[in-house]
Structures are given as structure tokens and as C-alpha cells.
Chains A and B, each alone.
Chain A
Amino acid sequence: MKPIDIDDVLRSALRQEVAETAAGLDGLEERIVLELGERRPRLRVGEWMRQLIAPTRSGRIGQLSLVGATAAVCLLIGFFAATRFSLDGGSPAIRLEPSRNADGTQEVLFVLPALDANEVSVVGNFNSWEPTTLSDEDNDGIWTASIPLPPGRYEYAFVIDGRWWGQDPLADEYVHSFGEYSSVRYIGGGDGA
């Protein structure tokens, strides 16, 4: 047999093999994508929490702001839902707006999520900028204080382990004061209150 004939035979055999395999290659790309999709790792709740509290380059306040913002959004959604819906149809739900006392003051709730904090207080023009301590009795990182205040405009900031933090997500507005932020709440009154 001539060498050229051997070459032809080999080519022919290869063509036949490719033709037989080609049928099995139909839709291969789609199948691979589908398979990869099924095997893609899903972020579990535990993993998500670990990532959330992992150290960041921005340091402690960076973590706080991330966790704080998440908690604040959850709180706002919770408060909104609580003010809109009531499970038993009659009992008072959690209220975002302050409750009014007999002497005209209103119980104003100050809330700050600060997971790693040891001490949180609030300072403002209602306490002559002297700290009023917030409490976290169930150690869930949500610090609260209810302070009776007469109607008016109140500037304040939180102090987290000695560091001032002037941006309360629940504030009505923010102002610059001595190069830092202060939060503002309007109690009672018109549009902004």
C-alpha cells in the first residue's frame, strides 16, 4: 500500500470518529453553563455574618457604619411595619414618634447599633452636652435611651467609647459644628417634627 493511501485511510477514520462524536457535542455549552450554575457556591447566613463583622481597612468606625447602617435599615423597616400593621388589630404597636407625657414633655427614643461598643452615651443641648448613658440590657449591640424632652429642636451626638459620632440615622437633619457632624431632632410642632 502506498503511503498516500494510508494517509487517506487515517483521515477517513478520523472524520468518521469526529462525525460520531459531534452528535454528542450538541448543546454542550448550555449544559456546562447549567452545571456551573448548579455548583456555584451560595453564601450562607453564617458566612454572610462573618464577612459582615470581618475587620475592614477603615477600622472600627468602618465596621460600625456597615453594621450600623444595616441595623438602622432593619430598625426603620421594623418601625415602619410596626406603625402600619398590628397583629392583634388593636394593641398599640412600636412607635417611632415620641410619646407625650402629662407635663408636656415627650419620651424621645435614642437608638444606636454599636456591636463592639463597651459604653455608649448621648450628648446634646438637652443635657448641656453632658453624657446620658444608653443601655444594652440584652447585649444585642442595640443601645437605647428614652429621654423626656419638651418640644423644641435638639442637636446631639452619640459618644461611643469616648469617640463622638454625630450621624444618627434616625435624625431629622445634620449640621456641621466645630468641624464635626451633629444630629438634629425636632420634637413636636410642624413639618420637620
Chain B
Amino acid sequence: MRVARRARWIGPVVLLLVALGLSAHAEIPLADYEAVLLAIPVSDLGHVLGAIEFGLSQPDFPAFETMQYLDRLAASRYSAQEREALLSDIVVALEEGLPIEGLVTKGLEGLARGVPAAGIQQSLHQRLVLLAETRDLLYAKGIFSVAPGSPQSVDTALPTPRFNLLVTHISDTIADYLEGGGSPFEGQTLMQEVRFRLTSLEGAILNATDVELVLKRIEPADLTRVALSAVS
């Protein structure tokens, strides 16, 4: 009897937990982005909103973090021009189909540290350049991305989220190295840094075969070339 009474509660509790879980993972509607963009404000709302809409269609778009960045940007002490400038590189990255997680995280850190807008913008721009150059490097090495679910015709065609993780972590390593005062000409050191980063994440968030593929194909001189593109 007591068991039956308890069993009556289990259903609603499970439903409630499921509902809470679903709401936590629910996508953020485009209208919410629009509202916060109006508060920043941006001069070309349609353009920025279009980029975000494209991002939302990507499997690895960091929706929650992006919304947090926009929220904090809107509430920041920077001028309207500076706030818009701090968004511009992220919009460009979205339009070019580059992964933006690293940019958003760096932007959030800059805001939290109270860094002047010019400092954040410089860091974001350098990272945007490195993202694009790293992606081009992987393309040049015959490593491509394919939409998730598409047939993987060759071993070097990686599903987009896996490809984007490689781009993010290689470019992020180079960016950190340069920000720490490292010379782009120290290709061997750069290579060591990249190797350490990728192997440390191997099996955690990076596929071991992807890491092996990249480390086999890229060389110190390639990384020097990528690094130089961000400082020249």
C-alpha cells in the first residue's frame, strides 16, 4: 500500500526532472539574441542577427556562452562603439564558418578582468586571424571537414565539430604562445606547444586518430608561417 502510494509520486517527479533537464538544454531563441543586440546596440542589427542565425544552425555553436558574452557586453562600461567593436570579430568568424568558442571565452575573460576595450579587441582580432590561418593550413595539408552525418569518404575528412576542435586548439596554442612573448620564428618550440596541447586533450575531447593525423602532417615551419600571419 505504502509502495503504491509512493509510486504515484514517482511519475510526476520524473516528469518534472525531465522537463527541467529539457529546459536547461533548450536552445536560446533568436529573439533573445535580438533583444540583447538592441541593448548593446549594433548599427546593423540584421547583419549581426544573420550571422548568429547561421551560427545557431551549426552543431558546435556555443549558444549559452555567446548569450552571456552579449549580455555582459551590453552591461559593460564601454562606449557603444567599443561594445560593437568587441562583437565585430566574432561576427566575422561566424560568417566565415570558423569556430567561435575560443573567441567568446577570451572575450568573457577580458570583460571579467576589466581589460580596456582596445586590449580585448586586439586579442580577439589576433585569434580570429590565427583561426582562419590554421584552418587554411589544415586544408593545405589535405585535412577537411564534412558535415556531421555525411559519409566520410577519406580518413582526412573529419566531421565539422572534430575539425573545428583541432582548429580551435592549434590556433589557441599559437595565440597563447604569442601572447606570452614567444617568437614566431621558434618553430620547434611552437610545435612542442601544439603537440603538448593536442596530446593532453587526446581521448578527452580530441579523437586520437585526428591528433595523430595532424601531428604527422604539420611541421614547425607551418606553425611559424601561421604565427607570422598574426603578427605582421
Contacts and interface: CB of A to CB of B under 8 A. Distances in A.
Interface of A: 123, 125, 128-130, 151-153, 155, 164, 172-173, 175-178, 180, 182, 186-193
A164 B65 CA distance: 22
Interface in B163-213: 169, 176, 179-181, 196-197, 199-206, 208
A128 B203 contact: no
Contacts, number: 81
Given A153-B205, A189-B201, A190-B200, 5 more contacts: A123-B112, A153-B169, A176-B176, A186-B204, A189-B200
B179 A193 contact: no
Across the A-B interface, the 3 shortest Cβ-Cβ residue pairs: A189-B204, A192-B200, A129-B112
A152 B204 contact: yes
Contacts of A173: 196
A151 B180 contact: no
B197 A153 contact: yes
Interface string B52-73: 0000000000000100100000
Chain B at the A interface: mostly helix, strand, loop or mixed? helix
B214 to A, nearest CB: 14
Contacts of B202: 189-191
B232 to A, nearest CB: 20
Nearest to A187: B204
Interface in B103-160: 105-106, 108-113, 115, 119-120, 123
Contacts of B203: 188-190
21 contacts: A125-B108, A128-B108, A129-B112, A129-B113, A130-B112, A152-B204, A153-B169, A155-B105, A164-B113, A172-B200, A173-B196, A175-B179, A176-B179, A176-B181, A177-B109, A178-B115, A189-B204, A189-B205, A189-B206, A190-B202, A190-B203
